[in-house]
Structure 1
């Protein structure tokens, strides 16, 4: 089966079988589609690459959410990270990763992932702001510092 077939099957089935299909789809991801190809030579493929990246993001986010909600945080983390192989700057996948780290009680890993996203955003075209949903999620997940006088 191909990524698309597994993805279609998994997204249409919210049972364990659907989760398995989504996992099989993500297991096929090895990196960004067309990575290593000359971007000038394959400029025609950019719309297709974006469709592929979007599909990978959708599958990874869905599987991460399902597994986190089922209490399987290692699989939730795997799904988010696997999607990031194709798109390292996806804030959708970072939100899934943040939620999985939080569910696992790993605040240090959550802080590290947030710092990594900030570095990525800072490196994009002179720096971009985090999406409002991402910033709000981090405000809600990260503990507030205690101020004493």
Structure 2
């Protein structure tokens, strides 16, 4: 496979992965990545994708080291296996798309580190290297748990290539490093947003209004306030550059509006739905209008006055939308009751 063939193959892989990612984001109720975000994603999709030869039918065989899920072992004749390992190390250090990949090679021919740029380093054994990697992984795990990692900062990938079979102790340490380096949560660890997305998906698949109402109510019951507002200063800095808070707000506001519609004959429950949505987006005037209607249906003008006082505080400095003004004037013809938002 020529360099141009490899680039074309990699582009096709990127396109398929990005399309799949966009579909999964839409399914989960999130906004798919825009052009700049796709470029960021594409940067690392094939950083560790390499050709390892041809199959019996003459087709190119590509190996994605980052998606391999563990240690990649080369079997067969030991001499041939060593040559394949050396070739793989060279590809990792010289391919045009893996500029952030660093290669550490052990028990491979001398002079290998003279190939390409400074991305390949020869060592005599893996023991000392594993000590260093274990320290780096430990620091990385601490940063993840305390929220100090940058969401979009590019993290250098490391490839360890050995020309001979490691002993059991080294192999076990390697396996532990592979698992730790991925920083994945165990399957049983679930965050509130995961639960919310699952419940919202369930609401869309519900066969009866009762089931839809139940799923939406449970999802909104997890809302405690605006997304990430209680995060300590200096933590989760990527949030300021990420679309997640806006996406969460939009999705939950839509859920609250839908729950209000489902409870249009029960003003108490409709009011609760609107209030739940306003917890995450206090400036949502569509939800304030839902709450105004519910308050009027339940408590008449007195209920509206209380709601208008709350809305005035929440919308301080924000102009009222025409629909909001029209609703208040309809329910309270005395325009002097209109709150000031200036």
- TM-score, normalisation: structure 1: 0.81
> How many Å apart are 1:12 and its aligned residue?
4.9
Shift of 1:128: 2.4
Q: How many residues align?
A: 139
The one of 34, 43, 54 equivalent to 2:250 is: 54
Is the contact made by 1:11 and 1:22 (CA closer than 8 Å) also made in structure 2?
A: no
Would you say 1:2 and 2:195 are equivalent positions? yes
SS of the equivalent of 2:230 reads coil
Could you say which residue in structure 2 is the equivalent of 1:63? 259
Q: CA deviation at 1:39?
A: 6.2
**Distance of aligned partners of 1:22 and 1:130 in 2 relative to their CA distance in 1, 3 Å threshold:** same
Query: Structure 2: how far apart are the matches of 1:55 and 1:63?
Result: 12
Instruction: Give the structure 2 partner of residue 134 of structure 1.
Output: 324
| Per-residue Cα deviation, 1:29-51 (whole angstroms, up to 9, x for no partner) | 11112121146643422410010
Residue equivalent to 1:109: 303
Map 1:1-149; keep pairs closer than 5 Å.
Answer: 2-13=195-206, 15-38=209-232, 41-46=235-240, 47-68=243-264, 71-122=265-316, 127-144=317-334
The Cα shift of 1:65 comes to 2.0
State the alpha-carbon separation in 2 of the partners of residues 12 and 101 from structure 1. 30
Higher mean displacement: 11-20 or 43-52:
11-20
Question: What's the RMSD between the two structures over aligned residues?
Answer: 2.1
Partners of 2:220 and 2:249 lie apart in 1 by 12
Bigger CA radius of gyration: 2
Q: In 2 relative to 1, CA 120–31 (structure 1 residues): closer, same or farther, beyond 3 Å?
A: closer
Greater RCO, 1 or 2 (C-alpha within 8 Å, sep 6+)? 1
Paired residues of 2:278 and 2:287 also in contact (CA < 8 A):
yes
Per mean C-alpha deviation after superposition, the further-off stretch among 45-54 and 33-42 is 33-42
Unaligned runs of 5+ in 1: none
Task: Describe the superposition over 1:86-129 as per-residue Cα deviations: whole angstroms up to 9, x where unpaired.
Answer: 1222112101101111222432121221232223333xxxx221
Query: Where does the alignment leave 5 or more consecutive residues of structure 2 unmatched?
Result: 1-193, 336-342
Structure with higher helix content = 1
